Amino acid sequence: MSKEQKQPHEHHHLTAEELGDRLEHNQKSGNRIFNGLAIFLCIIFLGGMAWGANDILNSSRPSPPEAAVDDTITNPPQSAQEILDYIQAAIADAKAQKPRIETNTAFDYDDNVDFVGLDSAALKDWQGLAKLMMPDVTARLQDSYPSLETQFGEAFDELLWALRVVPAQLEDATCEFVYFRCNSCGKEEGEPLAVCPECRAKNAYQKQYRENYTFTLLFKDDDPSVFANFHPRSPEEMRALLKDDLRGYATLGRFERNYDHARVVVSVNRVTKKLQSIRFLKDIAATLTLDVNPDFANLGTVTVVVNMSESTNFNFTWLGVYLSLNEKTMDKNETAQLAARIDAPNGQKTPLIWRSSNEKICAVDVDGYLETGGEYGEATITASFGLNGKVYEGTCVVYVKVPVEKVKLSHRRLRLAPGETQVLKATVTPKNATNQNVTWGSDATDVATVADGLVRAVGPGKTNIWVCTEDGYYKLTCTVTVTRGGE
Ligand SMILES: [Zn+2]
- Interval 397-455: pLDDT, tens: 999 988 899 999 999 999 999 999 999 999 999 998 888 899 999 999 999 999 999 99
Give dist(CA 465, CA 477) in Å, integer. Answer: 5
How many angstroms does the Cα of residue 36 sit away from the middle of ligand 1? 8
Q: Ligand 1: distance of its center to the CA of 464 in Å?
A: 18
How much of the chain, in percent, has pLDDT values that exceed 90?
44
Q: Output the pTM of the full model.
A: 0.66
CA of 28 to the centre of ligand 1 (A): 14
The pLDDT assigned to 34 comes to: 35
**CATH architecture of the domain covering 406-482:** Sandwich (2.60)
Q: Kindly give the distance from the C-alpha atom of residue 198 to the centroid of ligand 1, in angstroms, as a whole number.
A: 5
Can you spell out the DSSP letters for 218-272? EEPTT-GGGGGGG-PPPHHHHHHHHHHHHHTTEEEEEEEEEEEEEEEEEEEETTT
Question: Collapsing DSSP states into helix, strand and coil, what is residue 402?
Answer: coil
For residue 425, report the distance from its CA to the centre of ligand 1, in Å: 25
CA of 189 to the centre of ligand 1 (A): 10
Name, in order, each residue with C-beta under 8 angstroms of 362's C-beta and a sequence gap of 6 or more.
330, 356, 370, 371, 372, 373, 379, 381, 398, 400
Q: What residue ranges do the domains of the chain occupy? A: 80-317, 319-401, 406-482
Spelled out in words, what is the top-level CATH class assigned to the domain 319-401?
Answer: mainly beta
| Ligand 1 centroid, distance to 193 Cα (angstroms) | 10
Ligand 1 centroid to 473 CA: how many Å? 14
Q: Does the fold of domain 406-482 match that of domain 319-401?
A: yes
Q: What pLDDT is attached to residue 231?
A: 84
Q: Residues whose CB is under 5 A from ligand 1 (ion)?
A: 182, 184-185, 187, 196, 198-199, 201
Indicate the burial class of 166 (C-beta count within 10 angstroms; 0-12, 13-18, 19 or more).
exposed
| Per-residue pLDDT tens over the stretch 94-145 | 999 999 999 999 888 887 788 887 777 777 877 787 787 777 777 888 888 8
From the CA of 31, how far away is ligand 1's center (Å)? Answer: 12
DSSP string, 144-191: TS--EEE-TT---TTTSPP----GGGEEEEEEEEEEEEETTT--EESS
The Å distance, Cα 442 to ligand 1 centre, comes to: 15
DSSP 86-130: HHHHHHHHHHHH--EEEEEEEEEE-S--EETT--HHHHHHHHHHH
- 182 CA distance to ligand 1 centroid (A)? 5
14 pLDDT tier (thresholds 50, 70, 90):
very low
Instruction: Give the lowest-confidence range in 5-9, 188-192, 250-254.
Output: 5-9
Question: Among the residues of 297-407, which ranges form H helices?
Answer: none
Going from the Cα of 433 to the center of ligand 1, the distance in angstroms, rounded, reads 25
Question: Which position has the higher pLDDT, 299 or 158?
Answer: 158
Q: Is residue 18's pLDDT more than 70? A: no
For the chain, the average pLDDT equals 80
Structure letter (DSSP) for residue 486: T
Q: What are phi and psi of 229, to 5 degrees?
A: -65, -20
Q: How far is the centre of ligand 1, averaged over its atoms, from the C-alpha of 248 (Å)?
A: 56
- Supply φ then ψ for residue 302, to 5 degrees: -140, 150
Q: Tell me: pLDDT of 6 over 50.
A: no
